[in-house]
Amino acid sequence: MTGLALLLACEGTGNLPPIFTAVNGREVFTELGQATIDGVFEVEPGGKLRLEIDAYDPDGDTVWLAFPMRPPGLSYEARAPEGVWEVPEDYWATELTLYVLALDTKDHAQAATELLALQIDLKPGPNGAR
Amino acid sequence: MRRLALAAALLPLMTSGCLLNDWSEDALVEGALRYRIKTLRILGIRVDPPVLAPGVSVTLDALLVSPKGEAEAGTWRTCGLSSDEPAVIQSLNCFESGQDVTELGSGSLPLSYSVPQLDVEVSCGPQGGDTGISVHECAHEVPLMLSSNFADEDARAVSHVSWATEPWPSGQAMPESADSIGRSFYFTDVVKPGQEVEIQYRLRGDVRGGLFRWYVDRGTLGETGLTVAQSWTPPASAGQKGVTTTFNTWTPPDDSSGQELRIYVVWDGGAWAEASALATAPDMVWDLRTVTVQ
């Protein structure tokens, strides 16, 4: 991620990419430009996982969010710092890597970006059903 | 483990200027955000059937797209087939040496190719019996490269393939290419500049594990250039296949009135079929919808 983010920053407007700081209060570490977060988020099929995503842009630009490979039931506002994943009762996976992109402009092609990967475990519901 | 490794290797990442061949986060960002067709790009490769084994006749096809149209010709090469032991070649340096490069063919796409018997006998150790090793686990892991020139632009793409050293076993069914799967777009009839429209892409069958890559001439894809399955409708009765649906939203630019714009979806069927352990070559499928913005 780092290389591309830096490359984009160099090729684009000179902007630095946004920086993630926390998700649901858990600190995001950025080392050598690579954003990582410890631990796994858990949710049950049929349940809700709220994601409060804190990020800022060093240049003061508005931060936009995007979710490549967004799973079904995940809703968000591109300019809001949160999303909600209402996991379908019949969701098929047992674990998921949820990717979040922070962009410093709405225009995908021009954006300086930072990527964060969230590991999510889907625990069986109260009845054990998926 | 080998199959898992193959699954990753079968996800070719293609650009016009440089070669990437990994499933890294850099590549993910590239796929998510660089979906506009601004240069000649190779968006998909398909070997049909997805088996490279001596004696098998395959069709090599690719999707090569540029702002000026679709390229329809290319040159296919591989390297590393002269080893007398199963070769695992991740680097593309072997193309530079020229000593161990095999040209599969050159010309119009799709290209027919009969996989020949290898010149060198490959030692794979004991096979069959108690070892549980089948002949198709005796294979070279090599890069397959397509290069093309169109409208004064060059493009290359590489996918790592499993190249069997022994003929396909007689009597064993040949896997079908994912191209045989029914696919369709669902799209509004009226597209206006600056107005977001939803595009559904449906496939017959359970491909919920699939990754879909989207490309457009202009405009913004709300779900980025990478989507996954959004819904699965099980078959209503025996003999049917069910439907997997993914979708995206697309907003054509404000100044696109009267323009004819292309939307491509590419699906890596090889990664999906790999679970069967039969697919040994890239098996990507693609569809185009051309839209006139009103």
pLDDT score of B23:
64
Decide if B213 contacts B43 (C-beta within 8 A).
yes
Mark which residues 8-27 of B lie under 8 Å from A by CB.
25-26
How close does chain B come to A82, measured CA to CA in Å?
A: 16
CATH architecture of the domain covering B179-292: Sandwich (2.60)
Cα distances from B221 to residues A18, A77, B291, in angstroms, run 21, 15, 15
β-strands A41-43, A113-122: how paired? parallel
Q: Is B73 on the interface with A (CB under 8 A)?
A: no
Decide: helix, strand or coil at residue B253.
coil
Is A108's CB within 8 Å of B224's CB?
A: yes
Question: How far is the C-alpha of A66 from the C-alpha of A77, rounded, in Å?
Answer: 9
Residue A79 covered by a domain: yes
Question: How far is the C-alpha of B95 from the C-alpha of B115, rounded, in Å?
Answer: 19
Give the pLDDT mean for B96-117.
92
φ/ψ (deg, to 5) at B223: -95, 15
Residue A128 covered by a domain: no
Decide: helix, strand or coil at residue B226.
strand
Question: How far is the C-alpha of B268 from the C-alpha of B284, rounded, in Å?
Answer: 4
State the first-to-last Cα distance of chain A, in angstroms, to the nearest integer. Answer: 34
Residue A13 covered by a domain: yes
φ/ψ (deg, to 5) at B2: -60, -40
pLDDT score of A125:
60
Q: Is residue A35 pLDDT above 50, yes or no?
A: yes
Q: What is the dihedral of CA B292, B204, B2, B119, to 10 degrees?
A: -80
Decide if B261 contacts B252 (C-beta within 8 A).
yes
Helix axes A2-11, B25-33, angle to 10 degrees: 40
Residue A130 covered by a domain: no
How close does chain A come to B232, measured CA to CA in Å?
A: 9
Nearest to A94 by CA among A47, A43, A50: A43
Higher-confidence residue of B218 and B15: namely B218
Decide: helix, strand or coil at residue B89.
coil
Q: Which residue has the tokens 């064993």?
A: B172
Question: How far is the C-alpha of A92 from the C-alpha of A130, rounded, in Å?
Answer: 7
Q: Is residue B12 pLDDT above 60, yes or no?
A: no
Q: Is B229 on the interface with A (CB under 8 A)?
A: yes
What is the domain range of residue A34?
Answer: 2-122
Q: Is A12 on the interface with B (CB under 8 A)?
A: no
Size of interface A-B (CB pairs under 8 A): 62
pLDDT tens, position by position, B203-227: 999 999 889 999 999 999 999 999 9
Decide if B70 contacts B62 (C-beta within 8 A).
no
Decide if B148 contacts B72 (C-beta within 8 A).
no
Buried b (16+ CB within 10 A) or exposed e, B257-292: eeeebbbbbbbbbbbbbbeeebbbbbbbbbeebebe
> For A70-84, what is the HEC assignment?
CCCCEEECCCCCEEE
Is A111's CB within 8 Å of B33's CB?
A: yes
Query: With contacts defined as CB-CB under 8 Å, which chain B residues touch A66?
Result: 32-33, 224
Show the tokens assigned to B117: 């018997």
State which residue of chain B sits closest to A108, comparing Cα positions: B33
Buried b (16+ CB within 10 A) or exposed e, B79-102: bbbebeebbebeeeebbeeeebbb
- What is the domain count for chain A? 1
Higher-confidence residue of B216 and A34: namely B216
Nearest to B120 by CA among B169, B165, B164: B165
Residue A87 covered by a domain: yes
Evaluate if pTM is beyond 0.90.
no
Question: Which stretches of chain B are DSSP H helices?
Answer: 2-9, 25-33, 94-97, 269-273
Question: How far is the C-alpha of A114 from the C-alpha of A33, rounded, in Å?
Answer: 8
CA–CA–CA angle B120, B121, B124 (5° rounding): 130
Is B32's CB within 8 Å of A101's CB?
A: yes
Domain of A109, CATH number, reads 2.60.40.10
pLDDT tens, position by position, B118-144: 988 888 765 544 444 444 568 898 999
Domain residue spans in chain B? 2-170, 179-292
Counting residues of chain B whose pLDDT is more than 70, the rounded percentage is 84
Q: Which residue has the tokens 């009267």?
A: B258
Q: Is residue B78 pLDDT above 90, yes or no?
A: yes
Q: Is residue B173 pLDDT above 50, yes or no?
A: yes
| Amino acid (1-letter code) at residue A54 | D
Decide: helix, strand or coil at residue B97.
helix
Give the pLDDT mean for A46-66.
94
